[in-house]
Amino acid sequence: MVNHYISKMKKHFLILLISVVTFSCKKENERTSYTYQEDPSIIQDQYGRQLIFHGLNTASISKSDSLRNPWIIESDVEREATDFGFNFVRYLIFWDAIEPQKDVFDPVYLDRVEERVNWYTSRGMYVMLDMHQDLYSLVFGGDGAPAWAIRSNGSAPINLPGGTPWWLKNIDPAVVNSWINFWSYTAHKDLQDHYILAWKYVMERFKNNPYVIGYDLMNEPWGGDLVKVFITGEFEKQQLTAFYNKLIPALRAVESNKYFFFEPTPAPVTFGAPSKLSKITDTRSTSKLVYAPHCYPFDTHEGVGYTATAKQQLKDWERERKKDVQLHNNVPLLVGEFGLSPSQAGFDQNLKDFYAMADRNQWHWAYWSNDQGGWSPINADRTETPILQYLIRTYPKATAGKIKTFEYNPDSKIFTMSFTSNSSIPEPTEIFIPNRFYPSGWDLSVTGTTNYTQNFDAVKQILDFNTTENNKDITITITPK
């Protein structure tokens, strides 16, 4: 009788245990597959929180590395995530490494990419894979297209005098002809078709990682024909627009849910001039497109300094890019590249002005680049350069609701954000508050609700803010003690 009772108790306990495990798994799966209202004007995580991206490009040195690898090791990524508070990386990949021979795709290269991408994503950082190119191909001293995809009409590459800016190589007839032929879809259909195949190969590898947030479809697309680029605008209006209209639907067949980042032509857009790109639309019912122009006022790019001309170009850039955002259905904007040397006169004011512009427009950014030395925030020995203190900022990494405004003042160290809460989102609002700027601590002021909880992780330097009140206009202010 006793044995029978014990047996029944064991059976009931086992049923209870199975029920608890099943319920727990169900709840975890429900969180993983959480559905939310998509908003095409912002970038959202898998819970529906509004994201703001601050991060670096990784890395310029991979353009010329024999394996196309960046210089980083995993501890460098840990430092970016924890010490610097970055939540994003624009990670460079290359067509010639993906498809080194026509119809031959290299899984070993993507193994190396995936290993490094996982260093970021395992830390909750978001990765945007950037199909990078400069001067069309490594064959011409740049990077990008494999040798088999060069159609230069027999023109041999030319050598420019030492000290000539690298970008002037775009006038090389071999480079010009290669670009013209790439955009001539009718005559050279296989080039764009294989570019699409290369992207599909990449997307199949990363489609199930929610922290691979999306893909930059082509870095700094260049027209080749200078008349069509600078005078008639035909390259952006017709050829580049047609390319995106072909590329986006083709890639949506493989990747239906990630963000696609698209760029205008680099010059003269990077200097603040208008873009001629026609309206780009998604094939999804709710768009997941992000406009990703680069910002390089000419004088800062060429090492002259943050001159009056550069200041005006930055103002022009903001005005014109706001027009572009509206043209493309009020899409989010990410500045895929910007930067300058810390040795330049006015570099600090340039960064202050840039970040003030980014904050007031809720624009995302990726600084060029994390390579050691030069423009980088770190030196060759991994010590900090003067750039870093301006890149590290208090900012809202993820918001359970929709941001109305946010601003960080690097002089006073005061941070303010206003947002409308969404209590259906199961994850908290996360604000990065760097300890280095608040040696005596900080005070938190909240208006709009008294029903909230807060928790600060001093190691990750993250404030978690929770409220159960829905659709409330809440203002958070952080001030140093």
Query: Kind of pairing, strands 212-216 and 126-131?
Result: parallel
Residue type, 140: F
Residue 283 CB coordination number (10 Å)? 13
431-443: pLDDT as tens digits: 999 999 999 999 9
How many Å apart are CA 144 and CA 139, to the nearest integer? 9
What are the angstrom distances between the C-alpha of 298 and each of 200, 306, 322, 352, 471?
Answer: 35, 9, 20, 18, 44
Residue 206 pLDDT: 98
Quote the pLDDT of residue 158: 83
Query: How far apart, in whole angstroms, are the C-alpha atoms of residue 213 and residue 202?
Result: 13
Q: How confident is the model at residue 35 (pLDDT cuts 50, 70, 90)?
A: confident
Phi/psi of residue 192, nearest 5 degrees: -65, -35
- Confidence check: pLDDT of 181 > 50: yes
Name residues whose C-beta falls within 8 Å of residue 33's C-beta, 6 or more positions apart in sequence. none
> Residue 84 and residue 88: Cα distance in Å, rounded?
11
For residue 405, list its beta bridge partners. Answer: 418
In contact, 188 and 182? CB cutoff 8 Å:
yes
Span 83-93, mean pLDDT? 98
Q: Give the pLDDT confidence score for residue 23 in this predicted structure.
A: 33
| Residue 7: per-residue pLDDT | 43
**How many whole angstroms separate alpha carbon 370 and alpha carbon 379?**
10
Residue type, position 474, single letter:
I
Residue 224 is predicted with a pLDDT of: 96
* pLDDT band for position 20 (cuts 50, 70, 90): very low
Candidate from 14-23, 132-141, 280-289, 347-356 with smallest mean pLDDT: 14-23
Percentage of the chain beyond pLDDT 90 is 90
At residue 90, the 3 state secondary structure works out as: strand
pTM of the predicted protein model: 0.92
CA atoms within 13 A on the CB side of 384: 11
What does the angle CA 122 – CA 128 – CA 133 come to, to the nearest 5 degrees?
135
- 280 burial (CB, 10 Å; 0-12 / 13-18 / 19+) is buried
Q: Is the model's pLDDT at 34 over the cut of 90?
A: no
Residue with tokens 């190691």: 459
For residue 56, list its beta bridge partners: 89, 367
For 55-75, the pLDDT digits (tens) are: 999 999 999 999 999 999 999
- For residue 280, the SS3 value is coil
Taking the CB of residue 325, how many other CB atoms lie within 10 A of it? 18
Phi then psi for 376, rounded to 5 degrees?
A: -70, 160
Identify whether the C-beta of residue 77 lies closer than 8 Å to the C-beta of residue 119.
yes
**Angle between helical axes of 189-206 and 107-121 (0-180°, round to 10):** 50
Q: What is the mean pLDDT of the chain?
A: 93
Question: Which has the closest alpha carbon to 444: 479, 404, 472?
Answer: 479
Distant-in-sequence, close-in-space partners of 444: CB < 8 Å, separation ≥ 6? 454, 463, 476, 477, 478
pLDDT the model gives residue 18: 34
Residue 85 pLDDT exceeds 60: yes
**Dihedral of alpha carbons 231, 233, 239, 244, sign:** positive
Q: Which among 58, 79, 120, 50 has a CA at the least distance from the CA of 366?
A: 58
Give phi and psi for 342, each to the nearest 5: -70, -10
The span from the CA of 178 to the CA of 145, in Å, is 10
- In tens, the pLDDT along 127-161 reads 999 999 999 999 999 999 999 999 999 998 888 88
Phi, psi of 248 (to 5 degrees): -60, -50
User: Which of 371, 391, 477 has the alpha carbon at shortest distance from 434?
Assistant: 391
Rounded CA-CA distance 263/336 in Å is: 9
What's the rounded Cα separation, in Å, for the pair 249 and 338?
Answer: 29
